[in-house]
Amino acid sequence: MLAQSFSISSTELWTMMATPRAPQIIDVRRRDIYESVAGLLPASRWYEPTALADWIATLDRARPIVIACKAGKELSQNITAELRAAGYDAAMLTGGQAAWLEAKLPMVNRKTADRIMPSRPSTWITRRRPKIDRIACPWLITRFIDADAKFLFVDPDYVEAAAAEFGGIPFDIANVEISHEGERCSFDTLLKLFGLESEPSLARLALIVRGADTARPDLAPESAGLHAVSLGLSALAGDDDHGLLKQGFVIYDALFAWLRFAADERHNWPARV
């Protein structure tokens, strides 16, 4: 919950991302500024700041909200105050997106986002019965690219046709933009396209996913474990692809949390006080 504080720092917000406490991130920069910048806050959604009355009801009251403008001045101050007055658990990003950039935290490539996802929430389509890369990619998309994205799973022969018919984004099949490139997985491709591959924990996670998905357990010690757990979950899930996605997200949230917060922790026996 954020309600105790009117503001949140960039470091605090980054720490909350891809955790059960992750807030909705609302970008309220003026349109001309939004369209002129190179990067977006991860998983953020842009709304016209002067049209709050039109979009306030679309926000999820059950989740905290962070409002971000260019520099944390009048736009985010006013909109945060309006949301709090309406009973939303809202806070503003201290210093706005300028402070996020100054902290050297990851940004999503705006031009790529606008090109691949011209309308949001976006719809992504891939093959049925996901196991590793086709769970890792939706996790990355939801946690860092489009928090409201929808995923559809169809027979392999119909992925491209379904994407064309219904305006979806095909992924992890041959001959589409978001797929394997040599030894690199679709997860790697997403990181590269959206400008996220320099974030150290995501880069390390990509190596684990690549090792698990391409039968290269030598790439990372954790790859063999991810491979085993992923195939076990798939065997239990059967054709319940969305149920499997929900369970798989817990695995990737945990791996990302381990990489950021607990990778140096060691356990021995007998236990030491």
Kindly report the average pLDDT of the chain as a whole number. 95
- Which residue spans of the chain are classified as CATH 3.40.250.10? 7-105
C-alpha angle with apex 209: 204 to 215, nearest 5 degrees? Answer: 125
Report the Cα–Cα distance between both ends of the chain, in Å, rounded: 33
> In this predicted structure, what is the pLDDT of residue 2?
61
In 56-185, which ranges are continuous DSSP H helix? Answer: 74-85, 96-102, 110-116, 133-140, 159-166
Q: How far is CA 140 from the centre of its chain?
A: 4
Q: What are 140-198's pLDDT values in tens digits?
A: 999 999 999 999 999 999 999 999 999 999 999 999 999 999 999 999 999 999 999 99
**pLDDT value of residue 264:** 87
pTM score of the predicted model: 0.94
pLDDT tens digits, 6-17: 999 999 999 999
Give the confidence band of 1 by pLDDT, cuts at 50, 70, 90: low
pLDDT digits (tens, 9 = 90+) for 64-79: 999 999 999 999 999 9
pLDDT surpassing 60 at residue 29:
yes
pLDDT per residue as tens digits for the range 84-100: 999 999 999 999 999 99
**The CATH number fitting domain 7-105, selected from 3.40.50.740, 3.40.250.10, 3.90.700.10, 3.40.50.300:** 3.40.250.10
Angle, CA 76 vertex, CA 70 and CA 79 arms, to 5°? 150
What backbone phi and psi angles, to 5 degrees, belong to 199? -75, 120
DSSP 102-132: HTT---EEHHHHHHH-SSSS-EEEEESS--S
